[in-house]
Amino acid sequence: MSSDFDKIFDRLQAAVDRYDELNELISDPEVIADTPRFMKLSKEEGSLRDLVAAYNKYKQITDAIEEDKAMLEDKLDDEMAAMVKDELSDLTQQDEAIEEKIKIMLLPKDPNDDKNIIMEIHGAAGGDEGSLFAADLFSMYSKYAEKQGWKIEVIDKNDTEVGGFKEITLMITGNKVYSKLKYENGAHRVQRIPTTESAGRIHTSTATVGVMPEAEDVDIDIDPKDIRVDVYRSSGAGGQHINKTSSAVRMTHLPTGIVVTMQDQRSQQQNRAKAMQILRARVYDYYQQKETAAYDEQRKNAVGTGDRSERIRTYNYPQNRVTDHRIGLTLNKLDRIMNGDLEEIIDALIISDQAHKLEQLSNG
């Protein structure tokens, strides 16, 4: 057992003890009769099952290592000693691998990882170029989502005359969406020659991406008294009915001052539903950010899922290069990344985040 694994062994033993306790509880007729409690305990038991199986495998390996070491202390003939040494070498490698696996399984889980997300992309610095880059990022995430088998729905958008977006809000639904896209939160910088630039000068523009887990009623309880709703007439493109009815909705969450406006849907009822969906996600995200601010010191080195103004990545078109500044990763395949091939960057961010958490686990 490695020394840093030694430090977390107590936590592992506590998890195994809890698993045994849960198995007794879910066999108890009183607990079985209490359906909500039974469901909750069964879910907890299920979440520990793989960890306990890994622990049992780990014990088998360490017992076998001890046996082989004891055998080597006896007087063996050369052939037998060589066989035992080979087996010991193989078992030691298995032991190291399962220790790493267990350490990752023991990391605290992000409760939002399984959730769908609401993503907001804003063209920021750079005027038209910023809005065009926002459209490019929307295209990149749409293609990535398609490859993951996720569904994308545009909830609201504000187009610019050049074909970009001042902002676009989308809902991405599917398997573990937040776990992969949470690292996209922040400022994305682009360096390229605009099509309008006759002298061929490289411009730098920015778009910001906000990633919020979809919040259910169970996640956050918003008191209707805390919401002010204003209804007004929609403006802009949208057909004959646009200015006849007051279908656009503005919702304000009074305690936080968060405002959501929605006029993209066909009816006031639809706009209300979509505005509430976004408001709930933004308010949930707001309170979560406040909570994590309390842990800022220990999050200093963590891969950012924090401040939206933090510059996280640069996309350099002339050199076909993408750099993620948080982990110092540079890839010369911008064309493929803009086509939705984000796996390499996202995998590297997940590994870096796990490494940071493992360090905290070992030192904690």
pLDDT tens digits along 95-147: 888 888 888 787 777 778 888 898 999 998 777 889 999 999 999 999 999 99
> Which of 117-126, 141-150, 199-208, 280-289 ranks highest by mean pLDDT?
141-150
> Which of 198-202, 204-208, 228-232, 333-337 ranks highest by mean pLDDT?
333-337
The set of residues, in sequence order, having a beta carbon less than 8 Å from that of 190 and lying 6+ positions away, is 126, 129, 133, 136, 204, 205, 206, 207, 314, 315, 316, 317
Tokens matching residue 83: 């066989």
Task: Give the pLDDT confidence score for residue 309 in this predicted structure.
Answer: 66
- Average pLDDT (249-273) is 81
Task: Give the pLDDT confidence score for residue 177 in this predicted structure.
Answer: 93
- Average pLDDT (257-271) is 79
Task: Give the pLDDT confidence score for residue 218 in this predicted structure.
Answer: 55
Q: Is 6 exposed, middle or buried (0-12, 13-18, 19+ CB in 10 A)?
A: exposed
- Average pLDDT (273-280) is 83
Task: Give the pLDDT confidence score for residue 194 in this predicted structure.
Answer: 84
Q: Is 313 exposed, middle or buried (0-12, 13-18, 19+ CB in 10 A)?
A: buried
Specify the long-range contacts of residues 29-38, CB closer than 8 Å, at least 24 apart: none
Task: Give the pLDDT confidence score for residue 291 in this predicted structure.
Answer: 66
Percent pLDDT > 70 in the chain is 86
> Residue type at 178?
Y
Is pLDDT of 70 > 50? yes
Tokens matching residue 61: 């390996």
- Average pLDDT (271-298) is 73
Task: Give the pLDDT confidence score for residue 163 in this predicted structure.
Answer: 87
Tokens matching residue 252: 């304000």
Task: Give the pLDDT confidence score for residue 351 in this predicted structure.
Answer: 87
Is pLDDT of 276 > 90? no
Please answer whether residues 124 and 164 qualify as being in contact, where contact means their C-beta atoms are separated by less than 8 angstroms.
Answer: no
- b vs e for 67-89, b when ≥16 Cβ sit within 10 Å of the residue's Cβ? ebeebeeeeeeeeeeeebeeebe
Task: Give the pLDDT confidence score for residue 312 in this predicted structure.
Answer: 92
- Average pLDDT (327-344) is 95
Tokens matching residue 96: 């190291």
Confidence bin at 363 (pLDDT 50/70/90):
low
Q: How far is residue 24's CA from residue 44's CA, in Å, rounded to a whole number?
A: 13
The set of residues, in sequence order, having a beta carbon less than 8 Å from that of 218 and lying 6+ positions away, is none
Confidence bin at 341 (pLDDT 50/70/90):
very high
Distances (CA, A) of 209 to 139, 187, 262, 285: 13, 6, 19, 14
Give this prediction's pTM. Answer: 0.68
> Which of 26-40, 194-208, 256-270 ranks highest by mean pLDDT?
26-40
Percent pLDDT > 90 in the chain is 32
Please answer whether residues 323 and 330 qualify as being in contact, where contact means their C-beta atoms are separated by less than 8 angstroms.
Answer: yes
